[in-house]
Structure 1
Amino acid sequence: MRTGLLLTTLALGLSVTALPASAETLHLFGPFKGEHGATAPIKGSASAMLDTTKNTLTYRFEDNGLSGPVTAAHLHGPAPDGQDAGVLAPSNGPYTTRMTGTLQLTPDQVKEVQAGQTYINLHTEKYPDGEARAQLTTDLTGHKHHME
């Protein structure tokens, strides 16, 4: 009985590794930082799961410390941290301090997300070009304090 269970487990493990290399799910993270002259200390972060099979980005973010309510939220790119880029996909409201949703992306946009060239941008009335930005990356360095 044990041998049969072990063989079944091994067979299942092999079938999972036999999936095409292009099919994957990436977990992405990014702490919010002020931008465009915003000086208030902004707390909060964005996390996302990129499904390269469905070309979807499922996101969750929380913000705190903005000058006012979020008036718009977008996925921007392609751009490295510190550089601005155009809107790739809007996040539909209603806008609250905690939001979740799923964005449909093109294959090229998926590649930009995988390369760490996209960011979530939160816009407010005081900062219509964006008050807070979270660059999406697989690097957990900026999130160790959340993990402890």
Structure 2
Amino acid sequence: MNQHLRHCAAAAGLLLMTATASAATYTAILTGPKESPANTSPGIGAAVVAFDAATHVLQVDVAFSGLLGPSTASHIHCCTDMADAGTAGIATETPTFGGFPMGVMNGAYSNTYNTSLASSWNPAFLSSHGGTTAGAEKAFGAGLASGEAYLNIHTSKYPAGEIRGFLVAAPVPEPAMLGMLGLGVPAVLLMARRRRKQA
């Protein structure tokens, strides 16, 4: 199994172990054509985000490969004016997710945030939603549920963002499906990468 598939499997596995029953789960496939402005990067990524406003838990898992430039930042933006389109300011901590792998073109990331803490949010996002973490959580949850939030990865080659994907609601898998999901994310990424190479 190549390094790309190991990173993807690790990210999917970590989320599956940490997702809570009450968390809403969202997924995204990150590509250059989905960025704004769109680009032709061969990079690809997968993100799984679980958010539970009641327990103040935000779980972020990302795997990526094939970037054209070294990574410089990653975060979730919210909330665009319409689902699956447009741009928005950064919602999560700035200047990047804490501990996100920097200066690499392939990698994996997993972190859990306590969204009752102001440090989990971009100060501008907090300010624009009443200045409270409760206001930020409410707006963020609504943006996720409406398909108006996206995760992207910025690089030195594409400072505005090399790959991104809008987060969409994912059905909660039954326990028997968890192992298949862990295998499925890497397979989907591999197939998408092969299709883009053939195009």
Structure 1: segments with no counterpart, 5+ residues: 1-22
More strand by share: 1
CA displacement 1:71-97 (0-9 Å, x = unmatched):
111110112323111100131134251
Residues 96-118 of structure 1: per-residue CA shift (max 9 Å, x gap): 51011124252221221122211
| 3-state SS of 1:88 partner | coil
Amino acid at match of 1:93: G
RMSD across aligned C-alpha pairs, in angstroms?
2.5
After TM superposition, the runs of 4+ consecutive aligned structure 1 residues lying more than 6 A away are none
Equivalent AA in structure 2 for residue 30 of structure 1: A
TM-score, normalisation: structure 1: 0.71
Alignment equivalent of 1:131, drawn from 150, 162, 168: 162
Give the residue type in structure 2 aligned to 1:29: T
Q: Which of 25, 28, 50 in structure 2 is aligned with 1:27?
A: 25
1:89 — aligned with what? 92
SS at the partner of 2:168?
coil
Whole-angstrom distance in 2 between the partners of 1:82 and 1:24: 28
Is the contact made by 1:112 and 1:118 (CA closer than 8 Å) also made in structure 2? yes
SS at match of 1:31: strand
Correspondence for 1:73: 74
Identity of aligned residues (%): 28
What amino acid is the match of 1:63?
F
What is the distance in 2 between the residues matched to 1:102 and 1:131? Answer: 24
Structure 2 counterpart of 1:48: 49
Which amino acid is 1:33 matched to?
T
Report the secondary structure of 2:92's partner residue. strand
One-letter amino acid of the structure 1 residue matched with residue 165 of structure 2? A
**Deviation at residue 37 of structure 1 after TM alignment:** 4.2
User: How far 1:52 moved relative to its partner?
Assistant: 2.5
Highest Rg: 1 or 2? 1
3-state SS of paired residue (2:48): strand
Q: What is the rounded CA distance, in whole Å, between the counterparts of 1:134 and 1:37 in structure 2?
A: 12
For normalisation by structure 2, the TM-score amounts to 0.55
Of Structure 1 and Structure 2, the greater helix share is in 2
Matched with 1:8 is none
Give the distance between the partners of 1:38 and 1:31, measured in 2 at CA.
Answer: 15
